[in-house]
Amino acid sequence: MARILVPETIAEEGLNLLRSGGHDVDVQTDLDDAGLRNAIVGADALIIRSATTVTEELLDAADQLIVVGRAGIGLDNVDVGAATKRGVMVVNAPQSNIISTAEQTMTLILAQARNTAAADASIRAGRWERSKWTGTELHGKTLGIVGLGRVGALVAQRAAAFGMKLIGYDPYVSPERARQLSVESVSLDELAARADVVTVHVVKTPDTVGLIGDDFLSKAKEGVRIINVARGGVVDEAALVRGLESGKVGGAGLDVFDNEPLVDSPLANFDNVVLTPHLGASTHEAQLKAGVTIAEQVALALAGDFVPFAVNVDAAEVAETVRPYLPLAEQLGATLGSLLDEVPTTIEISFEGEIGGYDNGLATLSALKGFMSVLIDEPVSYVNVKSLLAENHAAVETVSSPTSHDYVNRLALSAGGRRVAATLMGLRNEPRLVEIDGHDLDLPPSNHMIIVRNDDRPGMIGIVGTVLGDAGINVDDMDVGRSSEGGSAVMVIATAQEVGPDIVAQLRSTDGIASVDRIGLS
């Protein structure tokens, strides 16, 4: 059972999902910064929305944090770099509010084009000014979409239904994909020159801050209308005000702002500007989806399973064929690490057989996670394992082959002159250790094993068994593997409890035994 700290209001359906999984859901929605730092001590997970800022200082206060879940898309309130450095997974719910955000975009486009907010305020003030609030049709106008991701694509679909001409700029989307969306792919400068309405749907990064600013507006059509339901700061608000004052900008609809809440902004002085308080995801449906999705992601992270929406884990979605090999890869990595005294300069991971034809990014991370966990004292996770390898000057080489000579699939790891291999067998996918240092084997891997390299002569099994029996060590399983070169054998024995160093020393001093390795995994 994990303790999950929730300092903001999250859909109860999501929280109940976590409770039903046996977790302690600690909801504290009235915390200040100091209170949050105190509350996060002992928490395994933190679930937030947009009001909580996850800083490096907060992460320093967290003594056992595994995952931070953001119930929504944006992560500008989470220091992802600091979390990654500490091995804390960061997950979000990228598809939870895309429909709501796209609909809010269309709402602002329509409201701005028809002066809805200003006309409403006028009539509430007792005035009837039909001629003053004459608007413009969307039909036949050109909509410039900056960012053709999930939300941008949905906006394109909805705007097309209004008869708008669609052009788009997104350096990460191919022209062919844009054509599938009925969008003409253009440069940012051409979009500025042609668009009657510009809507932005990009994440906030150093490259996108101020993207719609003085330079963009200088190239834009006279009377261009600007819509932002993405992130505050992508539209330069000072430049937008200058454009509105000069008439270059014919209107704007903004749902997000550089500083929120918006207070005393000159944007509020323009009748042709519609302002809403960050309502893009504020629908019942979006909040429900965000709460349930983030609960599912956090539960997966706490279970050590693959997390599809982890933003700081460098791995593609795992194929169903590969998924059963993830725990095997981690255990095999830990087994190999137990055979070494220090982090080696190179680790080789080989995927043979059917699994060799898939993306094995996550299986690689699983193996490395198990490997490094037994070799260094720091906490190791999917998130920080690559940076820890880099700090220890260790390189990783992966080899994939669609064929395996003896098994349908085989996973092998080599490092520091040692080699281990394993597979899954039968309909139940039972794990089997099939090779150690060139010796063929067949036994289930275990957390407690000894690996005895001995002369290949009669009586050796009895000698080792007697030593273990005299020490009260119960043998769960064992197998003997011979080298193809002959002369030596390897005896791998799985035990019910860890074999102590004194027993290992006794075995090492026994005639005919060349070496003894002990594996004791938690």
- For residue 231, indicate whether it is catalytic: yes
Give me the helix-helix angle, 98-113 and 150-161, nearest 10°.
Answer: 40
Distances (CA, A) of 165 to 146, 162, 168, 174, 289: 14, 9, 10, 19, 32
The dihedral built from the CA positions of residue 168, 173, 178 and 181, taken in this order, carries a sign that is negative
**Amino acid letter for position 105:** T
- For residue 260, indicate whether it is catalytic: yes
CA gap 471, 463 in Å, rounded: 13
- For residue 405, indicate whether it is catalytic: no
Residue of 231, 418, 419, 432 with catalytic role: 231
H helices of 321-434, in order, are: 325-338, 361-373, 385-391
CA gap 437, 481 in Å, rounded: 10
Q: Apex CA 229: angle with CA 281 and CA 75, to 5°? A: 65
CB atoms under 10 Å from CB of 150, counted, come to 17
Long-range Cβ contact pairs of 388-391 (< 8 A, separation 24 or more) = 389/343, 389/347
The dihedral built from the CA positions of residue 124, 130, 133 and 139, taken in this order, carries a sign that is positive
CA gap 408, 390 in Å, rounded: 33
**Number of alpha carbons in the 13 Å side-chain half-sphere of residue 451:** 26
SS3 call for 90: strand
Q: Which residues pair with 133 in a beta bridge?
A: none
CA gap 521, 424 in Å, rounded: 20
Distances (CA, A) of 10 to 25, 263, 295: 11, 26, 9
Residue of 70, 86, 225, 278 with catalytic role: 278
Helix (H) or strand (E) holding 199: strand 197-200
Residue of 129, 260, 391, 430 with catalytic role: 260
**Number of alpha carbons in the 13 Å side-chain half-sphere of residue 301:** 33
Residue tagged 């990783």 (tokens): 396
Q: Which residues are catalytic?
A: 231, 260, 278
